[in-house]
Amino acid sequence: MKQRPAFPAKLDTAVRARTGAQGATVAPSASMARVPAVPQPQGLGMDSTAVRMNMVQKLRGQGITDAAVLAAMGAIERHRFVDSGLVNQAYEDTSLPIGLGQTISKPGVVSRMAELMRNGASGKIGRVLEIGTGCGYQAAVLSLLATEVYSIERLRGLHDKARDNLRHLRLPNVHLLFGDGMEGYAKGAPYAAIIAAAGGEAVPQAWVEQLAVGGRLVAPVVTGTGKGSAQALLVLDKTPQGVRQTLLEPVHFVPLKSGVA
Ligand code: SAH
């Protein structure tokens, strides 16, 4: 039996995030670092705050510094987006199956991409397009960081699952779309940011076209050749002078596929 951290004594020291993300708190480093053991989520409706703050603390340790991103990661209950049998692993830095051969991204990757996407912005950024809704977790995180989130999924089963998962959160700025994200979503363009949760050989031209000048695209791209080849995170900035691309660390995402199913 694992011991619960002292509650609410430890959490009393939590600080309100300065960014204004709704209801989100970020624990200061010193107090959370001493929490002896992480309580395991027991199912929906549990008080998962402490275990989530522990995850946020680890994200800080991995170098995530954007207060708004940390607040959003602390606010969205990841355990509500995974199947009941996986709830115990919901706050580990691991991707987990969400059905139809797809996965929810690791918290470390979600926060890294969100931080890159925000690029040091002070408040919320404008409209964001997410390719690959999956279970809807990242869309929920993004909803606290952007004014509007358009999220496209090509698998009907996951599009429906995301809608179910997000219902209780009542996020009026999240727009779930069923379709082929390779074409982007022109009706919401131009986007302040585009973020892809699936990796393709190249960035579709539609994404670059639908990105606002001054906007940023963050996506995994295939860097090698052949089956199962390597991917890296790409940051593409659309500037008045043209497109600037930067290839960052290796990542591992499900493949970007065309068409719907
Ligand atoms: N952001 C998701 C991660 C889901 S995994 C989450 O938080 O759970 C990536 C998703 O991208 C998968 O659900 C996959 O079906 C979807 N995908 C792959 N190619 C796509 C495309 N062309 N358009 C839309 N979605 C796509």
Residue 36 has pLDDT above 80, yes or no: no
State the pLDDT at residue 113.
Answer: 98
The second-level CATH assignment, the architecture, of 21-251 is 3-Layer(aba) Sandwich (3.40)
State the pLDDT at residue 168.
Answer: 94
Q: Which residue has the higher pLDDT, 224 or 158?
A: 158
Band (pLDDT 50/70/90 cuts) for residue 116 is very high
State the pLDDT at residue 4.
Answer: 41
State the pLDDT at residue 5.
Answer: 38
Q: Where do the domains of the chain lie?
A: 21-251
State the pLDDT at residue 237.
Answer: 98
Q: What is the mean pLDDT of the chain?
A: 86
SS3 229: coil
Query: Among 39-53, 83-97, 136-150, 228-242, which stretch is predicted with the lowest mean pLDDT?
Result: 39-53
Give the dihedral sign, CA 247/96/126/57. Answer: negative
Residue 230 has pLDDT above 70, yes or no: yes
Backbone angles phi, psi at 27, to 5 degrees: -80, 140
Ligand 1 near 211 CB (within 6 A): no
Active site residue 29: no
Residue 18 has pLDDT above 50, yes or no: no
Ligand 1 near 103 CB (within 6 A): yes
SS3 8: coil
Ligand 1 near 134 CB (within 6 A): yes
Residue among 31, 48, 95, 105 flagged as catalytic: 105
Ligand 1 near 104 CB (within 6 A): yes
Q: What percent of the chain has pLDDT over 70?
A: 81
Pocket of ligand 1, candidates 138, 257, 260: which has the most ligand atoms within 8 Å of its Cβ, to mutate? 257
State the pLDDT at residue 227.
Answer: 66
> For the whole model, what pTM was predicted?
0.85
Distance CA 35, CA 258 (A): 46
- Name, in order, each residue with C-beta under 8 angstroms of 85's C-beta and a sequence gap of 6 or more: none
Taking the CA of residue 98 as reference, the ligand 1 atom at the shortest distance is 8
